[in-house]
Amino acid sequence: MTPILATHLLVPDFADFARLHPDIEMEILSSGELANLTKREADVAIRVVYDRKTLPLNLHGLKGPELFGGVYISRVRLAAWRAGAPDPIRWIIISAHGIPDWASEGEIRTTGVPFRTTDAAAEIAAVRQGLGITTLPCFVGDADPLLVRVPGSALHMYGTLWLLTQGATRKTKRVRLFTEFVSQRLAAYAPLLAGLMEHASLNTP
């Protein structure tokens, strides 16, 4: 899974699973790279899939909730902008990605000079510090009390979360227990993932 899914959403649930099943060894591979399930690089993959047709035919999938993102700014910086603060507002972007086509500035106008980072952790820290606006998954931005959506900006669907397993592996007890557990937790998070719960706390259901 991607690092942001692990650190901002599911690690508390993995901890609950580990307490329920202390005999099951767990290893979380949080990376932007796709694990090859056929080569047993992982037993389970949690992926954001935009087009279901792109899923490999040899994988078994459990469909989860849809994942949305938005444009966010720090609450303090928005208040200063509304009060007429002259400080320029920048786009904060991860260098490898740039500004997504769907993202708009809403009611805010940014300078042409972006603030670049190399990872999501620095991106989130920069927007909290009031450096500018950035795009984030709703489960990150809406759950952060320091952030707020940019007025006039729209949400965008990134795709659907899928739990993927392969072949005989999915029939093992440990994998079945894990996928059932995580599937239930993801279902409970559906409103947060869809951007319907601004400033929600991630209380484990």
Same-domain status, 143 and 42: no
Residues 102-148 pLDDT 10s: 999 999 999 989 999 999 999 999 999 999 999 999 999 999 999 99
Inter-residue contact 121 to 2 (CB < 8 Å): no
Same-domain status, 61 and 75: no
Expressed as residue numbers, the domain containing 180 is: 3-67+157-193
Q: Which residues, including other chains, have CB under 8 Å from residue 36's CB and lie 6 or more apart?
A: none
In a domain, residue 21? The reply is yes
CA 107 vs CA 99, 102, 132: distances in Å: 17, 15, 13
In a domain, residue 96? The reply is yes
In a domain, residue 11? The reply is yes
Q: Give the model's pLDDT for residue 202.
A: 47
**Tally of domains in the chain:** 2
In a domain, residue 100? The reply is yes
pLDDT band at 165 (very low <50, low <70, confident <90, very high): confident
Q: Taking every pair of C-alpha atoms in the chain, what is the biggest distance, in angstroms?
A: 62
* CATH code at position 104: 3.40.190.10
- On the question of pLDDT at 203 being above 60, the answer is no
Secondary-structure breakdown of the chain: helix, strand, coil percentages, each rounded to the nearest 5: 35, 25, 45
Same-domain status, 41 and 95: no
Hey, what are 189's tokens?
Answer: 């998070």
Average pLDDT, the chain: 89
Same-domain status, 84 and 54: no
- On the question of pLDDT at 5 being above 60, the answer is yes
Residue 158 backbone phi and psi in degrees, to 5: -75, -35
Question: Lowest-confidence range among 5-14, 75-84, 90-99?
Answer: 90-99
Closest CA to 28 of 58, 62, 54, 5: 5
Hey, what are 82's tokens?
Answer: 């509304």
- On the question of pLDDT at 23 being above 90, the answer is yes
Same-domain status, 76 and 128: yes
Same-domain status, 90 and 122: yes
Note the pTM of the prediction, 2 decimals: 0.87
Same-domain status, 112 and 188: no
In a domain, residue 113? The reply is yes
Inter-residue contact 162 to 59 (CB < 8 Å): no
Q: Give the model's pLDDT for residue 64.
A: 94
